Amino acid sequence: MKEEVRRADPQAEFDTRERCAINELSNSASDPGVSIAQARVRPGVTTRWHRLRGVAERYVILGGRGDVEVGDMAPQDVGPGDVVLIPPGCRQRIANRGGTDLVFLAICTPRFRDDAYEDVDDEPASGGAPA
């Protein structure tokens, strides 16, 4: 890694089949130890059950309220300032229970790569943008 400033680009946000919107703030082979994405879950939406193989993840809640489920842990209410620790390979999902977007940083170590993502939801995945 070398010194640099990566500028946020709100136009880079994209919808996922996981039922959330993602903006990759920092995810580069030149900094393989970590990635940082901003995630946004719309009101009333629950993301799909999924896990990341070989990648630990942390959610840092920035805004909104929700319920997070990780592994066998009972659903936990989360809000601004809360940090959710998700070990590698642990199933996870988060639900927006409020009336505004639930926004959080997803910080992955090592960095997130598409081939680490595994959908483990029992419901069929819908193609395209979240409802």
Check residue 111 and give its pLDDT. 98
26 vs 41, 48, 50, 103, CA distance in Å?
Answer: 19, 23, 21, 16
The C-alpha angle 117, 122, 126, rounded to 5 degrees, equals: 70
Contact (CB, 8 A) for 64 and 79: yes
Contact (CB, 8 A) for 12 and 23: yes
Check residue 109 and give its pLDDT. 98
Check residue 2 and give its pLDDT. 87
The whole-number mean pLDDT for each consecutive block of 10 residues of the chain, a chain of 131 residues, reads 92 96 97 97 98 98 98 97 98 97 98 96 64 34
Q: For domain 36-116, give its CATH number from 2.60.120.10, 3.40.50.2300, 3.40.50.300, 1.10.10.10.
A: 2.60.120.10
Residue 11 in 3-state DSSP? helix
Residue 62 in 3-state DSSP? strand
Cα dihedral sign for 65, 125, 22, 90? positive
Q: Where are the domains of the chain?
A: 36-116
Check residue 84 and give its pLDDT. 98
CA proximity to 1, closest of 35, 28, 20: 28
Q: Kindly give, in sequence order, each residue whose CB lies less than 8 Å from that of residue 27, ignoring residues fewer than 6 positions away.
A: 35, 36, 37, 111, 112
- The DSSP 8-state label assigned to residue 10 in this structure reads G
Check residue 124 and give its pLDDT. 77
Check residue 126 and give its pLDDT. 62
Contact (CB, 8 A) for 16 and 64: no
